[in-house]
Structure 1
Amino acid sequence: MMNKLNIITQVLAILILFSCSENMENGSDASSESGIGQGGSLATFAIKGDYLYTVEYEKLKVFSLQDPQAPVLVNNIWVGFEIETLFSYKEFLYIGSRGGMYIFSLENPEEPRNRASVQHFTACDPVVANDTLAFVTLHSNSNCGNNINQLEIYDIKDADNPVLLNTRGLIEPKGLGLYGNYLIVCDDEIKVFEIKEGQEGEVAFVTSIDKEAFDVIIQNDLLIAVGNEGVYQYTLYKNDNTFLVGHLSTINF
Structure 2
Amino acid sequence: MRKLLLLLVVSFCWSCTDESGDVGFIDGGGVGVGGSTARFAINGEFLYIVSNTDLKVINISSVADPQYQSSTPIGSGIETIFGFKGNLFIGGQSGMKIYTVDALGRPTYRSEFVHRTACDPVIANDQYAYVTTRSGEGCNNTLFEANRLVTLDVSNLDNPFDVDQQQMINPRGLAFFKGDLFVAEGASGLKQFSLEDPAHPVLIHFHTEIAANDMIALENTMIITRDDGIYQFGCVDEDLELFSPIQ
TM over 0.5: yes
Q: Partner residue of 1:152?
A: 150
* Shift of residue 66, structure 1, vs aligned partner: 1.1
The DSSP-based 3-state class of the residue aligned with 1:114 is strand
The amino acid across from 1:206 in the alignment is I
RMSD after superposition: 2.3
Q: TM-score, normalised by structure 2?
A: 0.84
Are residues 162 and 4 of structure 1, via their aligned partners in 2, closer, same or farther at CA, if it must alter by over 3 Å? closer
Are residues 113 and 70 of structure 1, via their aligned partners in 2, closer, same or farther at CA, if it must alter by over 3 Å? same
Are residues 180 and 90 of structure 1, via their aligned partners in 2, closer, same or farther at CA, if it must alter by over 3 Å? farther
The DSSP-based 3-state class of the residue aligned with 2:23 is helix
Kept after mapping to 2: 8 A contact 1:43/1:87: yes
* Shift of residue 172, structure 1, vs aligned partner: 0.3
Are residues 8 and 132 of structure 1, via their aligned partners in 2, closer, same or farther at CA, if it must alter by over 3 Å? closer
5+ unaligned residues in a row in structure 1: which ranges? 25-30, 32-37
Q: Partner residue of 2:3?
A: none
For the pair 1:189 / 2:189, whether they are aligned, the reply is yes
The DSSP-based 3-state class of the residue aligned with 1:171 is coil
Query: 2 CA distance for matches of 1:207 and 1:231?
Result: 21
The amino acid across from 2:222 in the alignment is L
Query: 1:68-83 to 2 correspondence within 5 Å?
Result: 68-83=63-78
Q: Deviations over 1:81-123 (max 9, x none)?
A: 1110000011100000000000001134421111001110100
* One of 200, 203, 207 as aligned partner of 1:202: 200
* One of 13, 18, 30 as aligned partner of 2:23: 13
Q: Partner residue of 1:165?
A: 163
Query: 1 CA distance for matches of 2:101 and 2:174?
Result: 23
* One of 220, 238, 241 as aligned partner of 1:243: 238
Q: Partner residue of 1:89?
A: 84
Query: 2 CA distance for matches of 1:111 and 1:4?
Result: 25
The DSSP-based 3-state class of the residue aligned with 2:72 is strand
The farther-off stretch of 211-220 and 170-179 is 211-220
The DSSP-based 3-state class of the residue aligned with 2:91 is strand
* Shift of residue 70, structure 1, vs aligned partner: 1.9
Q: Partner residue of 2:38?
A: 43
Query: 2 CA distance for matches of 1:246 and 1:142?
Result: 32
Q: Partner residue of 1:226?
A: 225
For the pair 1:67 / 2:100, whether they are aligned, the reply is no
Q: Partner residue of 2:10?
A: none
Q: Deviations over 1:5-31 (max 9, x none)?
A: 959943x638xx6xx54x47xxxxxx7
Select the structure that is richer in helix: 1
Q: Deviations over 1:129-177 (max 9, x none)?
A: 0010000000111111223100000000000000100000010000111
The amino acid across from 1:119 in the alignment is V
Kept after mapping to 1: 8 A contact 2:221/2:232: yes
The amino acid across from 2:246 in the alignment is I
* One of 164, 172, 175 as aligned partner of 1:174: 172
5+ unaligned residues in a row in structure 2: which ranges? 1-13
* Shift of residue 49, structure 1, vs aligned partner: 0.8
Percent identity of equivalent pairs: 30
The DSSP-based 3-state class of the residue aligned with 1:121 is coil
* Shift of residue 191, structure 1, vs aligned partner: 1.1
Query: 1 CA distance for matches of 2:148 and 2:225?
Result: 20
